[in-house]
Amino acid sequence: MLLQDRTILITGVLTPSSIAHTCARVAQEQGATVVLTSFGRARSTTARAARKLPVEPEVLELDVTDQAHLDALAPQVRDRFGELHGVVHAVGFAPAACLGQDDGLFAASWDEVATALQVSAWSLPALAKAVRPVLGRGGSIVGLDFDASVAWPAYDWMGVAKAALESASRYLARDLGPDGVRVNLVAAGPLRTVAARSIPGFSQIDGVWQERAPLGWDVDDPEPAARAVVALLSDWFPATTGEIVHVDGGVHAIGAAGPPA
């Protein structure tokens, strides 16, 4: 029971296929009290997904681009749960022009790019700041990532946003370390979520994994990524911060496809 007697806030649960939904299930199985966030019309969808978890969690209203929501988060947590022990950042969005366009990076306007950066990268430090008053020493913030060290087909401005997310996590590790709070990312391989299906070139990215993953890769199984998230939320990594843990079947370590199996 890695998370016994711990309260974990998890963003980004939309449907049961969401990586965050599996994180919530595994966290509950490991003893955690889980709290979800959602907002607007998506909140009813999140609530339906929440009912499929072993224990139906409360869903708090949170739009990470709304300062009023961010300001209200810590008081809500304090009133209902006292404190948090961990946070999962699973928020990402980019307008259609930012992904899979024939012109690549040239297709999107600044306003579209700004939206992608705000939701997918700026939201990590914004969320960390919002929960800081109720996140005690030994706390852990874990974000979901997709390897931004190289350029991928069709990923375009979302890849740039993920690079910003990775950099932001390192600076947060620096800034929150004195509080005893760890900040890490889990870089998962491609998974067939609702968000992934909206990427026009997802099949090209998936094809890379089928060719190069030494351990193989199942695009329909978020469990390995979720287990890594839960491990980082626990106290089994007490001196690890500013790290990116790759849960991708080994693709990040392989420079070219190997011989056919």
Q: Which of 84, 65, 88 is closest to 74 using CA atoms? A: 84
> Is the pLDDT confidence value at 107 over 70?
yes
pLDDT at position 258 is: 55
> Is the pLDDT confidence value at 130 over 90?
yes
State pLDDT tens for residues 63-83. Answer: 999 999 999 999 999 999 999
pLDDT at position 207 is: 83
State pLDDT tens for residues 148-188. Answer: 999 998 999 999 999 999 999 999 999 999 999 999 999 99
Instruction: Calculate what percentage of the chain has a pLDDT beyond 70.
Output: 96
Question: What distances in angstroms separate CA 125 from CA 100, 165, 175, one per listed residue?
Answer: 27, 9, 10
Average pLDDT, the chain: 94
Tokens 């979901």 label which residue? 144
Cα(135)–Cα(7) distance, integer angstroms:
10
pLDDT at position 257 is: 64
Cα(50)–Cα(199) distance, integer angstroms:
25
pLDDT at position 204 is: 78
> Is the pLDDT confidence value at 260 over 60?
no
Cα(259)–Cα(248) distance, integer angstroms:
19
Cα(182)–Cα(140) distance, integer angstroms:
5
The band of 45, judged by pLDDT with boundaries at 50, 70 and 90, is very high
The band of 115, judged by pLDDT with boundaries at 50, 70 and 90, is very high
CB 152 within 8 A of CB 209: no
| CA 35 distance to own-chain centroid | 15
pLDDT at position 205 is: 82
Angle CA 97–99–100, to nearest 5:
105
| CA 126 distance to own-chain centroid | 14
State pLDDT tens for residues 203-250. Answer: 778 888 888 999 999 999 999 999 999 999 999 999 999 999 999 999
> Is the pLDDT confidence value at 259 over 60?
no
The band of 7, judged by pLDDT with boundaries at 50, 70 and 90, is very high
Question: What distances in angstroms separate CA 63 from CA 71, 73, 165, 225, 231, one per listed residue?
Answer: 11, 10, 18, 24, 27
pLDDT at position 161 is: 98
CATH of 7-253, one of 1.10.8.420, 3.40.50.1820, 3.40.50.720, 3.40.30.10: 3.40.50.720
DSSP the chain: -TTTT-EEEE----STTSHHHHHHHHHHHTT-EEEEEE-TTHHHHHHHHHTTSSSPPEEEE--TT-HHHHHHHHHHHHHHHS-EEEEEE------GGGSS-TTGGGGS-HHHHHHHHIIIIIHHHHHHHHHGGGEEEEEEEEEEE---SS--TTTHHHHHHHHHHHHHHHHHHHHHGGGT-EEEEEEE-----HHHHTSTTHHHHHHHHHHH-TT---TT--HHHHHHHHHHHSTTSTT--S-EEEESTTGGG-SS-----
Cα(176)–Cα(135) distance, integer angstroms:
10
Cβ atoms < 10 Å from Cβ of 137: 8
